[in-house]
Chain A
Amino acid sequence: AQSVTQPDIHITVSEGASLELRCNYSYGATPYLFWYVQSPGQGLQLLLKYFSGDTLVQGIKGFEAEFKRSQSSFNLRKPSVHWSDAAEYFCAVGGIGGFKTIFGAGTRLFVKA
């Protein structure tokens, strides 16, 4: 069965510091991987996605993620965090043909001044 694990429930980083959010997945076929961000009371915003090709993908707002098949991981990174990045981050895995997208539990990011 497919699943997504985000081991960190919450993370606190200082503004300007680097960030890495972890994500591990379990999927029986070629995974399609996503990172979404959600601000309180808001919908989801897609940060980036990986379907195939270059395993380092660039997204919006300065985020990037690296797909590592051998580790079943898709960690999200940002070199310098801004206070506006404070939000909930969800890693998700899906498949082609309208196969359902499954979400991890989420990681809440706090940014301190």
Chain B
Amino acid sequence: GAVVSQHPSRVICKSGTSVKIECRSLDFQATTMFWYRQFPKQSLMLMATSNEGSKATYEQGVEKDKFLINHASLTLSTLTVTSAHPEDSSFYICSASGEGEAEAFFGQGTRLTVV
């Protein structure tokens, strides 16, 4: 299958700072990328869908000013958690799919801890 690389795998940041998470498709063009959040012992909740060159579409209840998503190229999408607080600590996972594809390929996730 196609490979999606997510970086960093773990990050610790201070409360009030911003942190950026990258999601790259290594061997295919990702026309659509998805960002999920997973709290401990819970399922993956979709945060937003981004199409290359367009503004992201956020799910209900997700603050778009807090979780900035950029999908500037067909191989890279970034999620920036702005002014992070301890309650933003979570596991963030991205996935990517090519045009007309039924399957999205997942990155390995980023464990964010805000202290």
Q: Which A residues are closer than 8 A to B by beta carbons?
A: 32, 34, 36, 41-44, 46, 49, 51, 90, 94-98, 100-106, 108
Contact = CB atoms under 8 A, between A and B. Distances in A.
Given A43-B93, A90-B43, A105-B43, A95 B102 contact: yes
A41 B34 contact: no
A36 B43 CA distance: 11
A58 B104 CA distance: 19
A98 B46 contact: no
B93 A104 contact: no
Nearest to B32: A98
Contacts, number: 60
B100 A97 contact: yes
Contacts of A105: 42-43
Main secondary structure of the interface of A (DSSP, over half): loop
29 contacts: A32-B103, A42-B108, A42-B109, A43-B6, A43-B93, A43-B109, A44-B109, A46-B106, A51-B102, A94-B102, A94-B103, A95-B102, A96-B100, A97-B32, A97-B99, A97-B101, A98-B32, A98-B51, A98-B99, A100-B46, A101-B34, A101-B46, A101-B104, A102-B46, A103-B36, A103-B43, A104-B43, A105-B43, A106-B42
A104 B97 CA distance: 20
B31 interface: yes
Interface in B92-115: 93, 95, 97-104, 106-109, 111
